[in-house]
Structure 1
Amino acid sequence: MTSNPTLPNYARIVEVGPRDGLQNEKQAIGIDTRINLVNMLAEAGLSYIETGSFVSPKWVPQMANTDQVFAGIHRQPNAAYIALVPNMQGFEQAVTAKADEVAIFTTASETFAKKNTNCTIAESIERFKPIIERAKALNIPVRGYISCIAACPYEGLIAPIEVAKLAAQLISMGCYEVSLGDTIGSATPEQISEILECVLPYVPADKLAVHFHDTNGRAIENIHVALQYGISVIDSAIGGLGGCPYAEGATGNVATESVVDLLDKLNIRHDINWEKLNKASQYIRQALTNSAP
């Protein structure tokens, strides 16, 4: 492992709980609950918050009425409120909702692409080109996601070079950052090291983020590896919410609380208020308990 011996001084957490977390909950989540959660997260100091996605409610019913969530939040001046968009229609909805940023998503697995987005990887890239062009014209930053960087529930292990090429392609198209996702939470620290060794010659560390699910309890170890390679942007979900509805068993993003705890132990600054973060965590856990069928 040829990681950077100097850890970053500061790490930015991208809070994905209100979108990637809640989208995989079984019960419907009220609009007011989603608004309150986003507000509490911003008050806790989280400056990048995935607020929702403009996908068909037929496929992801928990993300219905995302426009009302964007309309109802109290926007903090130093926070960016992000919307996930699958296509141009979703992008235009995000623009109308005044999303500060948009995120697009593809995968390193052809089979997963077909099951998740009903198209090939190449077709998904073509679908993003007009979105990125329009976003540039409107000065809206675009973040890219790559799922299944280590393994796919259908294909098994994924070749790291495929991840590297795809990440480089997204950056060249105009994404300012690419988030590397271990969607089924199966990756080991050794695999993450191997993937980053392959990706970093194609995309520099300051344009990469990591997005780990904690299915096998290795997410924090994997984040520690990424930090040692100079990656300082970490996706996480309050309370360890969610997973991917198209990857059975991939329960739970790494908890934001666990990431903050790791950063504290490593003396890496994060600017998040621990007490307010815990209040947000307790709030959403209680709300989910109360709305459970």
Structure 2
Amino acid sequence: MRKGYSLFSAVLANLTFLATDVLACSTCITALADYYLPPIYLWVLIATTWFIFNAEVSSTTGITLNLYPKKNVLGLSITFAIILFIFAGAFSGLGVMLLMFVPAVAAFVQSFNPQLRGDFPGGTRAIYWIGVIHLVGVVCAVVIMVHTHLTRTPENFIVKWSGTSIANIKLNELQAQGPQALDALQYIKKNGGEYLAAKADESIKQIEDSKNANRKVAPVADRNEKVEGHTATVPTPAIDKLSWSKPKNTNSIGMGFVYIKPGTFMMGSPDGGPANSRHELQYQVTLTKGFYMQTTEVT
């Protein structure tokens, strides 16, 4: 019986502490458990050390202790875990892990019953302190769990468990929030790995593109400008009436600009103009894109 629980402890520890940032079942199950029972490493440590400490006491004294849960408790836990895994597959990971904790909890409760502690010199005291230490550990784990649930943000969890199924689900939920999740996405881009940085950057660009697509374009109005001594009607942005946008019409040295809209127009001096003496005749020009033209002559 002792060997069986030592093997159980070793398997549980390996599934949890040796999990790495890969798309493996052990990592996904551990991440899922940590989402509901943080910090999962502490809970697993409490469960494994319980069996290890008691196995050590039993091995040292040479007496088999009745500290382990009865066979029917262990058998029921394993049976339900197998049934759950058959019907739910990988999605049952958290349920299987919780069922595997049942024997540990049962053994912990039994340790406080004097009739189940065994009868050998010093055994009662050793078992008592093992129980007290683990009880303190459980209380600390509960306090940390509550604090984590109150303070942990989705982006913190996503960065910690990058690549796992539960982290990908939370990332998709975050991306669906749009501009509201911009700060969280920037945090993920900065602190996550290459995969998370790429996913977050893609969402950030989509948010920025949507902002640009919804940005209003200032209307234009006509006014008269003096160009080379001639009065010409040219369009310019009527931005002075817009409270939400105040772009400058002048550059850093005070040069004025007017907006030339796309279209077809005549370029050159009109008939009778002063430039006709230099054979600068008019011709048709098609402008496909608008631009700002300086109104001050540069010589």
TM bucket (normalised to shorter chain) is under 0.3
Greater share of helix: 2
Task: Answer 1 or 2: higher relative contact order, Cα 8 Å, separation at least 6.
Answer: 1
Normalising by the residue count of structure 2, what TM-score does the alignment of the two structures yield?
A: 0.22
Normalising by the residue count of structure 1, what TM-score does the alignment of the two structures yield?
A: 0.22
Larger radius of gyration: 2
